[in-house]
């Protein structure tokens, strides 16, 4: 399965649509900062399952700030990252990854693309798909028990 990871869209639906067309994913995960963008994208591509979490700019008090997902036998935490202080460091995120035995920790917030393996956990930040100068997204693949990730500049 190929999963498109988007974050920090900030109203730029056209970039999100271009990322979907480029990546041709089986699932989309939006990591916040414009919840409505995720809904609008799902309206455009209703056959592609969508999961999302709110960001610090989203007023969604009824939504959990993070989700623990299970992809096959992999444990995945999806969050925006602001509640873990990811702009300062990944220390709290790393502690959580170890405590929760995570295979994948997905976050946004910093607008900086990142793929980094720390211990058994893969940390991925897709960057900002809404950035007007350097939009990025990430693609996660899970095939034959192997989890891979890479960030992609939007063409």
Confidence of residue 56 (pLDDT cuts 50, 70, 90): very high
The CA R_g of the chain, rounded to the nearest whole Å, is 14
Domain around 111: 2-153
Alpha-carbon distance 10 to 128, whole Å? Answer: 9
Cα–Cα distance, 118 to 98 (Å, whole number): 10
Place of tokens 């900030």: 10
Task: Work out whether strand 114-118 and strand 121-125 pair parallel, antiparallel, or are unpaired.
Answer: antiparallel
Q: What local confidence, expressed as pLDDT, does residue 155 receive?
A: 87
Could you read off the pLDDT of 100-153 as tens digits, one per residue? 999 999 999 999 999 999 999 999 999 999 999 999 999 999 988 889 999 999
Domain with residue 9: its CATH number is: 3.60.21.10
Q: Which of 148, 131, 110, 114 is nearest to 14 (CA)?
A: 131
β 74-79/104-106 pair status: parallel
User: How many domains does the chain divide into?
Assistant: 1
What pTM did the predictor assign?
0.96
pLDDT of 146 = 86
pLDDT score recorded for residue 90: 94
- Give the pLDDT band of residue 69 (cuts 50, 70, 90): very high
Residues of 123-143 as b/e, b for ≥16 C-beta within 10 angstroms? bbbbbbbbbeeebbbbbbebe
């Amino acid at each position: 399965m190929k999963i498109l990871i988007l974050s920090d869209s900030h109203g730029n639906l056209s970039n999100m649509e271009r990322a979907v067309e480029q990546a041709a994913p089986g699932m989309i995960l939006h990591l916040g900062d414009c919840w409505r963008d995720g809904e609008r994208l799902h309206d455009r591509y209703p056959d592609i399952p969508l999961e999302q979490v709110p960001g610090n700019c989203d007023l969604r008090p009824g939504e959990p700030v993070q989700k623990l997902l299970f992809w096959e036998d992999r444990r995945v935490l999806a969050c925006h990252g602001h509640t873990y202080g990811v702009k300062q460091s990944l220390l709290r995120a790393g502690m959580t990854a170890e405590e929760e035995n995570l295979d994948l920790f997905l976050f946004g917030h910093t607008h900086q693309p990142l793929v980094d393996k720390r211990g058994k956990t893969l940390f991925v930040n897709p960057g900002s798909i809404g950035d007007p100068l350097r939009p990025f997204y990430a693609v996660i693949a899970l095939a034959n028990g192997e989890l891979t990730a890479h960030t992609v500049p939007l063409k």
